Amino acid sequence: MNPTDIPLIETRDLKRHFTIRPGALARLLARAKNIVVSAVDGVSLKIWQGETVGLVGESGCGKTTLGRVISRLDIPTAGEIFFKGFSLREGLPSGGDKSTPIERLGFYRVAQVIFQNPYSSLNPRKTIREIIATPLINRGLKDLNEREETIIALLRRVGLHPRNLDQYPHQFSGGQRQRIGIARALAMQPQFIVADEPVSSLDVSIQAQVINLLEELQDEFHLTYLFIAHDLSLIHHISDRVAVMYLGRIAEEGATDDLYAQPLHPYTQALLAAIPSLDKAARRQRIILQGTVPSPINPPSGCRFHPRCFARVGSICENETPPFFEVGKQRVACWKYQ
Amino acid sequence: MKAIKILERVLTTIPIMFGVAIIVFFFIRLTPGDPVDIMLGRSAAASQREIEQLRHQFHLDEPLHVQLGYFLGDALRGNLGYSYIRNKPVVDLLVERLPATIEMTIGALLISLIIALPIGILSAVRQNSLLDRLSMAGAFLGISMPGFWLGIVLILFFAVYLQILPAQGRISYDVELQEVTGLYVLDSLLTGNLPALKDSLLHLLLPSITLGAGVAAIIARVLRSSMLEVLRSDYVKLARAKGATEWDVVMKHALRNALIPTVTVVGLQVGVLLGGNMIVETVFSWPGLGRLVVDAIFNRDFPLIQGAVMIYAITFVLTNLVVDILYTYLNPKITL
Amino acid sequence: MTNTPLLELKNLTTVFPTRRGLVRAVADVSLSLAQGELLGIVGESGCGKSVTMLSILRLISTPGRIAAGQALFQGRDLLKLSDGAMRQIRGKDIAMVFQDPLSTLNPAFPVGEQIRESLRIHHIAQNHFAREKERVIELMSEVGISSPTDRFHEYPHQFSGGMQQRALIAIALACEPKILLADEPTTSLDVTIQAQIMDLMRRINEARGTAIVLVTHNLDLAAEFCQRIAVMYAGRLVEIGTTDQVIETPQHPYTRGLLTCIPRISAQRTRIEPIPGNVPDLANVPPGCAFAERCSEMQPICQNDLIPFFEIAPGHLVRCLRHSSATPD
Amino acid sequence: ATPTPQVIEKVVEKPVEKIVEKTVVAERTVVVQPTAVPGRDTLVVALARAPSGIDPADHSSREAETVIRNLYDGLVTRDKTSGVHNEIAESIKWLDTKTLEIKLRKGVKFHDGSELKADDVIYTFERVFKPNAIEFPQPHTALRKGFLGPFGSAEKKDDYTVVVNFTAPWPAAMQMLVHTQIVSKAYVTKVGTKGLIEKPLGTGPFKFVSSKTGLEEVVLERFADYFGGAPDLTPVGKACVSRAVFRVIPENSTRVAALLAGEVDIITEVPAELVDTLKKVPGVQVKSVAGTRPIWMEFNVTQAPFTDVKVRQALNYAVDKNLIIKKVYNGLAQPLGGALMPTNNFADPSLKPYTYDKAKALALLKEAGWTPDASGMLMKDGKPLAFVIDTIDSLRPVTEAVATMLRDVGIDASVRVWEYNVVRPKLLARERQAYVGDWGDSAFDPVGHIEAKWHSLVTGSTYGRGNFSGYANARVDKLIKDGEIENDVAKRKVIYNEAQKLIYDEAPALFLVLPEAIEAAAARVQNWAPASDSRENLHDVCLK
Amino acid sequence: MTAHAPTRVARGWDYSFRIRLRLWWRALAELGYELWQRPVVLLGGIVVAAFILAAVFAAQITIHDPTRGTLLLRFEPPAWEAEGNWKYPLGTDDQGRDLLTRIIYGTRVSLAVGLLSVAISVIVGTALGAFAGYYRGWLDEILSRFADLLLAFPFLIFAIGVMAFLGPGFVNLVMALAFKGWVEFFRLVRGEVLGERTKEYVDGARVAGQSNLAIIVSEILPNVIQSVFVLGTLRLGYMIIMEASLSFLGLGIQPPTPAWGSMVASGRDYLLVAWWVSTFPGLAILLLVVAINIFGEGLRDILDPRLKIE
Ligand SMILES: Nc1ncnc2c1ncn2[C@@H]1O[C@H](COP(=O)(O)OP(=O)(O)OP(=O)(O)O)[C@@H](O)[C@H]1O
Ligand SMILES: Nc1ncnc2c1ncn2[C@@H]1O[C@H](COP(=O)(O)OP(=O)(O)OP(=O)(O)O)[C@@H](O)[C@H]1O
Ligand SMILES: [Mg+2]
Ligand SMILES: [Mg+2]
């Protein structure tokens, strides 16, 4: 098989539903039913080796959940994830890609996560050395000397000084912590990294440092990123391809430049129009969407965007879920492009 | 929906009460000391046959689980058995004694609230002031003071030295009071009996202070710290930004929210009050449940211990139920 | 711009004594706000934007205090008013919208009640309940809260973030203030909601002529919304000017850094340029220019002497020595 | 001011009469004047414990006796010491050694106005004696059965004469009859035991008014038709106070405080330590009388080391009873010279209490093989002489004092406090080593007492029911049984003297002390004195 | 050493241990500094330490035997009273035993009962709470229900019941207190673990390949242990009062072993003649518990970052 034909990561109709069970009595007396939160509701996504896929969407649309399911921190309700064509449900074939896969680590040997909150993603009771040593130990790096060297090299790579090794996370600034988190992820020598809003809690002046670092590392280690953010400018900057999520589903997907130049889905259009811009010329015609993102508990029928949509094509929007339509190189889930 | 939640919360108390009954049964029944021996008293000389008869009468000759069955079945029917020592149905004894205990517990709770609320609020508002420091020092003393010791000291000072408060009992014997509920203060109010009201209040004072001191201290501290937290919050800032007066800011915006954690603590403190009853009732000769149960424990009066401990546990469970419901009303966010 | 500013800050300085030392959260800030003006204050987290706003309303909590300066509102120094007089101004003349709507609404009271309180405090409807309620419902629909009669009795947690922010704005607008201090009103909201809220604020400004101070760390947002922008760094203003002046001809290295460190959507993807280093600890800000150690154009003198404002164009003030040729302000 | 809690110190302004005069050392005296409520005609007595019952046939505590004593009368009664006097009985005479003829006083009225007749007396006896005669709450035999001894039957000769047949001679009858109070047949058959408990009805000086919860408080009222009580015991007539209240105050300090605060008039069980203090308080009178609860430390003679009589005797020499009396009992106690308390009518005065003689104790222990090691601990075969003394809470001070004295001679004695009800079965099962306990002897006769403590245990009978030492001596057993049926006082004395001597010599117990019963009252209480059997008789008491 | 020698030499176990030690030492020094800033808390700590020292070295610092006295010396008043004697600084009790000696030895009992019962509660409660909170499911369900059940009993009533069941004595007392004491720690730890397990650092550890057990023990517990420690300190004071209360009711330690509660209890009969017998042990309880509480509260302030004003 030609390796370029096989995506590094592929999800097929991935779903993650959270069920909230009401008490027995409420069920009995008020006929209360299970509340199902369809956080991720049928996402099919392909990520190829070496690229950065940006995932944007408003708060609560399921970005984090999708990221967690893909990084196996959460179990999908339905659907499957493939790594290089192997279903993760069966587990990675031993000896598959890495020379010594450790069964317990499984997927984490090849995929890692960079978290959103630099303040809570590092254990406050552990020194930097311990934090970075953990994946190394679990990876099987037993030799102390070698481990120490590796830790120092990693730390240097992310732009921190080794003299800080024995300090605790709270002694670092947000940007520095995020670097530590990156070093921890790199320690596993992954191929794939899910980065869930890695800069959104950083000061603007620091954001750029981290983004640049991530870009450098990608080149250096041939990393593949799933980059989650709600900042459209940032996504534009960093991604090769972009997927726009709305209420648990992907609304539109395509190469970054295409998608920004010519947003197809009305939601994408509104999103892009809502970004404030310095450049008066670049300001698009303002589209102010009405209402807020509906709750994923009882998502609207048909196209999930239809209650807020300004470009409805008819009752089909309300009744039937739009499939993906290929428009040029973009894929868009909107009946308009039927 | 809220009603259902409350009902649900009410229903959860049922298995707890069953569990309480079972725990009490096993603990007490496995205790060494033969109840029949005790029933027969110090000087009686019972024959073996009589002993057997008694054992049979109280099902003491059956295996434990059968005894448990009898016990639970009877308990459901409101029959907690006979007190070996006092030769009376346990339920009657409990019903006789409960009002005194409830009265003192409520008295202590009220006193502690009367002391704690203003102190908690004021010392939070005037954080680090002399008042704050003094009351928090007092609160430390209150928490650390063993109740029995405080009671003795109070009696010596107020009853013996100053002679302004009675040292013991619930009411003076020369005060006539028609009992309605068994809560003397309430009864004297109901019957419009002012002398009895004054007398019973005076009698209630020292025991309530003794019992309530520690609780007052805890409530004051909890209230203070939650007030401090709330006073730092954004919505208090907003209230100020609206131009609200300091009184409104503190008493309305802050207090309402600070009371939420406090209420839970008050609920839990009722447990402390109920436990403390045993000691305070002993010190003040208060004819309540606490003394009854202490006596019963010393005399291995199983049915009475079972009954009394269950009543305590149930009172406590019910109080917390009430507190939880109150909590829902105070905290609109919580739906139990 | 009118001649007599509605609000004028003169050398406002607010400090917090902490165990690390004295934190100068706001140092020597002078600003003016005209009737109906839209002013943006931009700066990174912790640079003192919120404290400036709170100082205007005298809501600094102990042990913090306003150490120096004046805050002239229609010529009266707010900092010298009695507590009672100050309360009259809060909410009535100057209202504030806070950063985080969820923590700013009181969780224990219905939203409608909280809006009504503003009216009641300032006797807007003669403390007449029905009239007050009517007005509240009016306000709620004005800020775009749907079915206000039902939502009058709902509690904050039953509102979505955007609705909470609207409710906060309704509270602020209740007494038709002359100045609205909006402290990052959209930071915690999504872009589409942010657009809605900004639209609402713009309409308010247009309809009522309310002057708005928009505090944000999003330069783009400020640029789109405001007429004038002030850039803050480490407790001090570093650059003030009209939006065009600041955005198109930024003069302070920090302002320029801010403009280039965030990616922009444009046809050609430019590399973003991070500002090196970190924001200084406000408890020990270096004596000279606080930005000096992150500045690529730093001169030795920058680290030692406090840099004054230089007016490089009418109304465009910059605290940077590179402009020492211009006349110091 | 000194930090004593005897709070106010004032120079005494006027000399105050002391009822029981003892030397008052301090010139400055504590003045805590009980506030007298003017015109009050209610007498309040504070008891230390709630009465165990209020049915004359079915109780087992002294508090119950006290309350019942004021509600009911017996055929005979006792004075403040040990003398027995006719009360309802006009005369009592032995027809033969087993038959007693009782003539009843005429015109004795129950509280409901009916007259007391022979039927009531017979009914009372049968109610006490017959198995399962008490039907409430479950049918059971009266707890007071033992006080009727070898009761056989009672017959009515006429309305005012009852003949009681015993199955054996019963010389202790008079002292024992004091403890049986007469109930009304008509009333009890009508209301049942339950009714009797709820509203007692007797012929006593006081009528029942009300009681609270668990007899925490019992209120009585003067019975206007009272026949006057025992004619030998003045005053004869109706009760002096119009109301009497018994109230339970278990805490010693609270009880004293209540007296000082003027809330109660008489308190029982005053701790001996407080006597001196209370005596200094003007307006408080303190009185004591020889008690009826002798205290021993019983050795478990079935277990080493107490199988050895020398050890037992040695321990008797090792304890300084006089020091205990002086210090723990404030002088208000007598040393015990053996099995019977000195005030028992049959106590052998020639048996002198073991003297305190450490040297003798050590010598005896040496004979028994116990020798002190370097540290002074007594050792035998490499093992120390160590044992646990069990006791009950009220006797903890004396027990600790004994333990300390024993440790002084090199015995490793420690104390364990129990509830009586819990430790009793263990004692009877001979599971414990030594026990400091008391045993009431309120009948002043060996019967009811000596067979309980020193007769070997016969299960299912009264014999040995309180024999915690496991002492079993065939001769003593026989003597005890002989004494029970010997009507001749002189011969009885001989029998009991021999038994006492045997017990004294074999020392199954460390004979300790007989504490006095101490009570205190407000000064306005008149004509009051504690009774040695602690049956507080309020009939005589007046209020100033 | 050549210029090309590796900048760092091989590090063995002892190195990481040394690092740990240094970090602990630093943390301790920091704690010490924070304490130094709070004189009242420091004083509380010193008083507690003094009591602990007194308990440990009771035999060395006293000249009398705590269980031996002579009736001849019954109720000697404190030394400063008119008839006092400096040989018995706080006077003697009803058995003529030196009160100060007994109070010092009583510290042993109180502290031992308190520390042991708290220690058992902490160990049991923390272990169960951590597992229940981490794994949830039926284990959590059962334990939580059982904890709820135990919570339905007021502490003292429960302890009295257990003491009546087990009989008095040191070990039984500790068991009785711990039998209910663990519940608080269980609930605390369970709650905290529930909160911690959703934090990103736990995911971080999982992604770094940590096993569940390793996550509980080496990632989550260190974050929880501080609140456990603070609660433990405060509970210590409570347990001491409970011990005293049970001893007061006669369900505690057996004589002649000196225990504060039973000293107050037996002394209260003598209040009017010898106030000191009951008062000083009462004061000792008060002093120790106040000190513990002040210290515990102070620790909470220091350790709980939420209360720190930055
Ligand atoms: N454990 C859970 N139980 C129930 N609902 C959940 C759970 N986790 C997430 N959800 C719900 O699933 C939806 C998607 O959440 P998710 O965190 O994935 O959104 P997001 O796009 O990452 O939002 P944000 O931009 O705020 O991070 C939300 O409505 C959220 O409330
Ligand atoms: N109560 C306080 N005590 C001590 N320091 C304080 C206090 N309040 C604010 N500060 C300090 O003042 C500085 C400015 O805070 P401010 O809240 O004004 O920042 P900001 O610019 O609004 O930041 P953000 O964008 O995060 O809201 C911060 O460094 C902060 O640490
Ligand atoms: Mg997210
Ligand atoms: Mg701010």
pLDDT tens, position by position, D19-40: 333 333 333 333 344 444 444 6
Residue D442 to residue D439: CA distance in whole angstroms: 9
- Candidate from C92, C103, C107 with C-beta closest to B332: C107
Which residues does B99 contact at the CB level (< 8 Å), separation at least 6? B181, B182, B183
Task: Give buried/exposed letters for E277-286 (b at 16+ CB in 10 A, else e).
Answer: bbbbbbbbbb
Collect all residues from B whose CB is shorter than 8 A from any CB in C.
231-235, 237-246, 248, 253, 256-257, 260, 330-333
Which residues does B52 contact at the CB level (< 8 Å), separation at least 6? B61
Q: Which of B118-127, B173-182, D262-271, E188-197 has the lowest mean pLDDT?
A: B173-182
Contact D511/D45 with Cβ under 8 angstroms? no
Query: Stretch C179-199: mean pLDDT, rounded?
Result: 87
Q: Is the pLDDT confidence value at D528 over 50? A: yes
Left (φ > 0), alpha (ψ -120 to 50) or beta: where does E292 sit? Answer: alpha
B15 touches chain A (CB under 8 A): no
Q: Is the pLDDT confidence value at D443 over 60? A: yes
Query: Stretch B304-325: mean pLDDT, rounded?
Result: 83
Query: Stretch D287-299: mean pLDDT, rounded?
Result: 89
Q: Is the pLDDT confidence value at D516 over 50? A: yes
Q: Is the pLDDT confidence value at B240 over 80? A: yes
Q: Is the pLDDT confidence value at A182 over 90? A: yes
How does the average pLDDT of chain E come out, rounded?
Answer: 81
Model pLDDT, residue A298 = 82
Which residues constitute the domain of residue A91? 9-110+190-337
Residue C204 to residue C233: CA distance in whole angstroms: 29
Q: Which of A207-211, B138-142, B239-243 has the lowest mean pLDDT?
A: B138-142
Model pLDDT, residue E13 = 55
Residue of chain E whose alpha carbon sits nearest to that of A188: E208
Mind listing the pLDDT tens digit for each residue in B4-13? 777 877 888 8
Model pLDDT, residue D501 = 92
Mind listing the pLDDT tens digit for each residue in C25-45? 998 899 999 999 999 999 888
**Which of A14, A20, A37 has the most ligand 1 atoms within 8 A of CB, as the residue to mutate?**
A37
Are D214 and B166 a contacting pair at CB < 8 A? no
Residue D411 to residue D510: CA distance in whole angstroms: 15
Question: Sorting pLDDT into bands at 50, 70 and 90, what band is E2?
Answer: very low
Are C171 and B333 a contacting pair at CB < 8 A? no
Query: Stretch D437-456: mean pLDDT, rounded?
Result: 85
A22 in ligand 1 pocket by Cβ < 6 Å? no
Question: What phi and psi, each to the nearest 5 degrees, are found at residue A135?
Answer: -65, -30
Q: Is the pLDDT confidence value at A193 over 90? A: yes
Mind listing the pLDDT tens digit for each residue in A66-75? 998 898 888 8
Question: DSSP assignment of C16-54, as one string?
Answer: EEETTEEEEEEEEEEEEE-TT-EEEEE--TTSSHHHHHH
Model pLDDT, residue A245 = 93
Question: DSSP assignment of A46-66, as one string?
Answer: EE-TT-EEEEE--TTSSHHHH
Question: Sorting pLDDT into bands at 50, 70 and 90, what band is A4?
Answer: low
In a domain, A294, yes or no: yes
Question: Sorting pLDDT into bands at 50, 70 and 90, what band is E75?
Answer: confident
Query: Stretch A181-201: mean pLDDT, rounded?
Result: 90
Q: Is the pLDDT confidence value at A94 over 70? A: no
Q: How far is the CA of C183 from the centre of ligand 4 (A)?
A: 6
Which residues does E172 contact at the CB level (< 8 Å), separation at least 6? E162, E163, E166
Are B233 and C103 a contacting pair at CB < 8 A? yes
- Candidate from E268, E285, E286 with C-beta closest to B152: E268
Report which of residues D19 and B80 the model is more confident about: B80
How does the average pLDDT of chain D come out, rounded?
Answer: 84
Q: What is the dihedral of CA B267, B270, B272, B277, to 10 degrees?
A: 180
Mind listing the pLDDT tens digit for each residue in A129-180? 889 998 998 888 877 888 888 999 999 988 888 888 888 888 888 888 899 9
- Contact call for C and D: 3+ CB–CB distances under 8 Å: no
**Parallel, antiparallel, or unpaired: how do β-strands D525-526 and D542-543 relate?**
antiparallel
Which residues does A168 contact at the CB level (< 8 Å), separation at least 6? A124, A125, A126, A127, A128
Q: Is the pLDDT confidence value at C329 over 60? A: no
The domains of chain E, with CATH numbers, are 57-285 (1.10.3720.10)
Mind listing the pLDDT tens digit for each residue in D43-84? 899 998 888 888 888 887 888 888 998 999 999 988 877 788
Model pLDDT, residue D494 = 92
Are B7 and A23 a contacting pair at CB < 8 A? no
- Candidate from B232, B244, B246 with C-beta closest to C117: B244
Rounded to 10°, the helix B289-298/B255-284 angle is: 50
Mind listing the pLDDT tens digit for each residue in C237-249? 999 999 999 988 8
- Candidate from B32, B275, B294 with C-beta closest to E155: B275
Query: Stretch D282-300: mean pLDDT, rounded?
Result: 88
Residue D66 to residue D63: CA distance in whole angstroms: 5
Helix (H) or strand (E) holding E241: helix E221-248
Mind listing the pLDDT tens digit for each residue in C21-30? 888 899 889 9
Q: Which residues of C touch A170 (CB under 8 A)?
A: none
E98 touches chain A (CB under 8 A): no
What tokens were used for D541?
Answer: 């008491």
How does the average pLDDT of chain A come out, rounded?
Answer: 84
Question: DSSP assignment of D285-326, as one string?
Answer: EEEEEE-S--EEEEE-TTSTTTTSHHHHHHHHHHS-HHHHHH
- Widest Cα–Cα separation across chain C: 67
Q: Name the CATH code of domain C5-35+44-81+222-328 (choices 1.10.3470.10, 3.60.15.10, 3.40.50.300, 3.20.20.220).
A: 3.40.50.300
In a domain, A305, yes or no: yes
Is the C-alpha dihedral spanning A195, A201, A205, A206 positive or negative?
Answer: negative
A296 in ligand 1 pocket by Cβ < 6 Å? yes
E strand residue ranges, B81-192: 82-83, 88-89
Report which of residues D544 and D153 the model is more confident about: D153
Count other Cβ atoms within 10 Å, centred on residue A10.
Answer: 19
Question: What phi and psi, each to the nearest 5 degrees, are found at residue E98?
Answer: -65, 125
Residue B29 to residue B14: CA distance in whole angstroms: 22
Q: Is the pLDDT confidence value at A198 over 70? A: yes
Question: Sorting pLDDT into bands at 50, 70 and 90, what band is B31?
Answer: low
Query: Stretch C130-138: mean pLDDT, rounded?
Result: 88
**Parallel, antiparallel, or unpaired: how do β-strands A86-87 and A78-83 relate?**
antiparallel
Model pLDDT, residue B288 = 85
Contact D21/D242 with Cβ under 8 angstroms? no
Query: Stretch B277-304: mean pLDDT, rounded?
Result: 81
Model pLDDT, residue C179 = 93
Which residues does A90 contact at the CB level (< 8 Å), separation at least 6? none
Q: Is the pLDDT confidence value at A244 over 80? A: yes
Percent above pLDDT 90 for chain D? 26
Model pLDDT, residue B113 = 92
Q: What is the dihedral of CA E134, E140, E144, E145, to 10 degrees?
A: 170
Percent above pLDDT 70 for chain A? 90
Neighbours of chain A (3+ CB pairs under 8 A): B, C, E
Query: Which ligand is closest in space to the CA of residue E310?
Result: 2
Residue E105 to residue E109: CA distance in whole angstroms: 7
Q: Which of C53-62, C125-134, E64-73, E179-188 has the lowest mean pLDDT?
A: E64-73
Q: Which of B81-95, D370-384, E32-46 has the lowest mean pLDDT?
A: B81-95
Question: Sorting pLDDT into bands at 50, 70 and 90, what band is D389?
Answer: very high
Q: Is the pLDDT confidence value at C212 over 90? A: yes
Percent above pLDDT 90 for chain E? 6
* Residue D263 burial (10 A CB sphere; 0-12, 13-18, 19+): buried
Q: Total structural domains in chain A?
A: 1
Model pLDDT, residue D121 = 92
**Which of C14, C15, C51 has the most ligand 2 atoms within 8 A of CB, as the residue to mutate?**
C51
Q: Which of A249-258, B49-58, B211-220, E202-211 has the lowest mean pLDDT?
A: B49-58
Count other Cβ atoms within 10 Å, centred on residue D78.
Answer: 26
Residue B186 to residue B171: CA distance in whole angstroms: 13
Are B11 and A26 a contacting pair at CB < 8 A? no
E10 touches chain C (CB under 8 A): no
Model pLDDT, residue D436 = 93
Percent above pLDDT 70 for chain D? 92
Q: Whose CA is nearest to atom 26 of ligand 1?
A: A59
Q: Which of A283-292, B317-326, D357-366 has the lowest mean pLDDT?
A: A283-292
A63 in ligand 1 pocket by Cβ < 6 Å? yes
Q: Is the pLDDT confidence value at B249 over 70? A: yes
Mind listing the pLDDT tens digit for each residue in D468-494? 988 989 999 999 988 888 888 889 899
Residue E258 to residue E107: CA distance in whole angstroms: 9
Question: Sorting pLDDT into bands at 50, 70 and 90, what band is E66?
Answer: confident
Q: Calculate the CA D474 to chain-centre distance.
A: 28
Query: Stretch C50-74: mean pLDDT, rounded?
Result: 89
Query: Stretch A196-201: mean pLDDT, rounded?
Result: 87
Model pLDDT, residue D14 = 37
Model pLDDT, residue A33 = 76
Query: Stretch E209-220: mean pLDDT, rounded?
Result: 87
Mind listing the pLDDT tens digit for each residue in E122-168? 999 999 999 998 888 888 888 888 888 888 888 888 888 777 777 77
Question: Sorting pLDDT into bands at 50, 70 and 90, what band is C191?
Answer: confident
Question: Sorting pLDDT into bands at 50, 70 and 90, what band is E12?
Answer: low
Fold of B90-330: MetI-like fold (1.10.3720)
Model pLDDT, residue C3 = 62
